[in-house]
Amino acid sequence: MCGIVGYLGHKKATEVLVEGLSKLEYRGYDSAGVAINTKENLEIRKFKGRLSVLSDDLEKNPINGGLGIGHTRWATHGEPSDVNSHPHFNKDKSIAVVHNGIIENYLELKEELQNEGYEFLSQTDTEVVAHLVDKYYKGNLLDAVYKATEKLRGAYALGVICKDNDKELVAVRKDSPLIVGLGENENFIASDIPAILKYTKKVYFLENNEFVHIVDNNVTVFDMNKNIVNKAINEITWDVESASKGGYEHFMLKEIYEQPNAVKETLIRRLDNNKCIKLDDIKLTKEDLEKINKVYIIACGTAYHAGLIGKYAIEKFANIPVICDIASEFRYNNPFIDNNTLVILVSQSGETADTLASLRYAKENGARIMSITNVVGSSIARESDDVFYTWAGPEISVASTKAYTTQVVSFYMIALDFGMKKEIITKEFYDKTIENLKSIDKKIEKVLSQEDYIKEVTKTLNKKDNAFYLGRGLDYLVAMEGALKIKEISYIHAEAFAAGELKHGTIALIEKGTPVIAILTQENLLEKMISNIEEVRARGAYVIAITKENHKEVEKSADKVIYIPDICDNLSTVLTVIPLQLLAYYAAIQRGCDVDKPRNLAKSVTVE
Dist. CA 27–CA 302, nearest whole Å = 21
Backbone angles phi, psi at 224, to 5 degrees: -70, -15
Question: By C-beta, is 300 or 344 nearer to ligand AGP?
Answer: 300
Does residue 255 touch ligand AGP according to CB under 6 A?
A: no
Annotated active-site residue 163? The verdict is no
Question: By C-beta, is 172 or 300 nearer to ligand AGP?
Answer: 300
Which three-class secondary structure state does DSSP give residue 172?
strand
Dist. CA 581–CA 486, nearest whole Å = 8
Residue type, 63: I
User: Which range of residues in 168-176, 344-352, 418-426, 586-594 is near ligand AGP by CB under 6 A?
Assistant: 344-352
CA 64, 69, 74, 77 torsion: positive or negative?
negative
**Please, what is the Cα angle at 400 between 506 and 462, to 5 degrees?**
50
User: Which range of residues in 68-76, 188-196, 208-216, 347-355 is near ligand AGP by CB under 6 A?
Assistant: 347-355
Given the residues 93, 316, 446, 603, the one annotated as active site: 603
Does residue 266 touch ligand AGP according to CB under 6 A?
A: no
Q: Minimum distance from CB of 280 to ligand AGP (Å)?
A: 23
Pairing relationship of beta strands 67-73 and 31-37 according to DSSP bridges: antiparallel
Does residue 302 touch ligand AGP according to CB under 6 A?
A: yes
Question: By C-beta, is 326 or 568 nearer to ligand AGP?
Answer: 326
Return the closest-CA partner of residue 560 out of 543, 575, 577, 572.
Answer: 543
Dist. CA 250–CA 244, nearest whole Å = 10
Dist. CA 536–CA 548, nearest whole Å = 21
CA dihedral 137, 140, 145, 150 (to 10 degrees): -80
Q: How many residues bind ligand AGP (CB under 6 A)?
A: 16
Question: By C-beta, is 6 or 301 nearer to ligand AGP?
Answer: 301
Question: By C-beta, is 370 or 434 nearer to ligand AGP?
Answer: 370
Does residue 352 touch ligand AGP according to CB under 6 A?
A: yes
Does residue 347 touch ligand AGP according to CB under 6 A?
A: yes
Question: By C-beta, is 83 or 357 nearer to ligand AGP?
Answer: 357
- Beta carbons of 262 and 406 less than 8 angstroms apart: yes
Given the residues 2, 162, 300, 593, the one annotated as active site: 2
Does residue 583 touch ligand AGP according to CB under 6 A?
A: no
List the one residue from 84, 341, 355, 576 that touches ligand AGP (CB under 6 A). Answer: 355
Burial zone of 250 (CB within 10 Å; 0-12 exposed, 13-18 middle, 19+ buried) = buried
Q: Who's near 59: CB < 8 A, 6+ residues apart?
A: none
Question: By C-beta, is 542 or 586 nearer to ligand AGP?
Answer: 586
List the one residue from 301, 310, 471, 482 that touches ligand AGP (CB under 6 A). Answer: 301
List the one residue from 36, 256, 399, 420 that touches ligand AGP (CB under 6 A). Answer: 399
Q: Minimum distance from CB of 299 to ligand AGP (Å)?
A: 6
Does residue 383 touch ligand AGP according to CB under 6 A?
A: no
Does residue 214 touch ligand AGP according to CB under 6 A?
A: no
User: Which range of residues in 114-122, 301-309, 493-501, 521-529 is near ligand AGP by CB under 6 A?
Assistant: 301-309
Return the closest-CA partner of residue 473 out of 515, 516, 523.
Answer: 523
User: Which range of residues in 44-52, 165-173, 214-222, 342-350 is near ligand AGP by CB under 6 A?
Assistant: 342-350
Annotated active-site residue 603? The verdict is yes
Question: By C-beta, is 277 or 483 nearer to ligand AGP?
Answer: 483
Question: By C-beta, is 65 or 301 nearer to ligand AGP?
Answer: 301
DSSP per residue over 322-363, as a string? EEEEEHHHHTTS-----TTEEEEEEESSS--HHHHHHHHHHH
Does residue 300 touch ligand AGP according to CB under 6 A?
A: yes
Q: Minimum distance from CB of 347 to ligand AGP (Å)?
A: 3
| Residue 258 Cα distances to 251, 278, 292, 402, 584, angstroms | 10, 24, 36, 7, 17
Q: Who's near 289: CB < 8 A, 6+ residues apart?
A: 318, 418, 421, 422
The 458-497 contact track toward ligand AGP, x by CB under 6 A, reads ------------------------------x---------
CA dihedral 118, 120, 125, 129 (to 10 degrees): -40
Does residue 398 touch ligand AGP according to CB under 6 A?
A: yes
Dist. CA 315–CA 582, nearest whole Å = 30
Query: Residue with CB nearest ligand AGP?
Result: 301
Dist. CA 371–CA 407, nearest whole Å = 11
| Residue 22 Cα distances to 31, 288, 375, angstroms | 12, 46, 20
DSSP per residue over 244-302, as a string? TTTT-SSHHHHHHHTHHHHHHHHHHTTEETTTEE--TT----HHHHHH--EEEEEE-HH
| Residue 594 Cα distances to 107, 148, 402, 578, 585, angstroms | 45, 46, 19, 20, 10
Q: Minimum distance from CB of 480 to ligand AGP (Å)?
A: 11
Q: Minimum distance from CB of 540 to ligand AGP (Å)?
A: 31
User: Which range of residues in 49-57, 235-243, 348-356, 454-462 is near ligand AGP by CB under 6 A?
Assistant: 348-356
Q: Minimum distance from CB of 296 to ligand AGP (Å)?
A: 16
Q: Minimum distance from CB of 53 to ligand AGP (Å)?
A: 25
List the one residue from 31, 84, 349, 371 that touches ligand AGP (CB under 6 A). Answer: 349
Binding site for ligand AGP (CB under 6 A): 300-303, 347-349, 352, 355, 398-400, 403, 488, 604-605
Q: Catalytic residue positions?
A: 2, 603
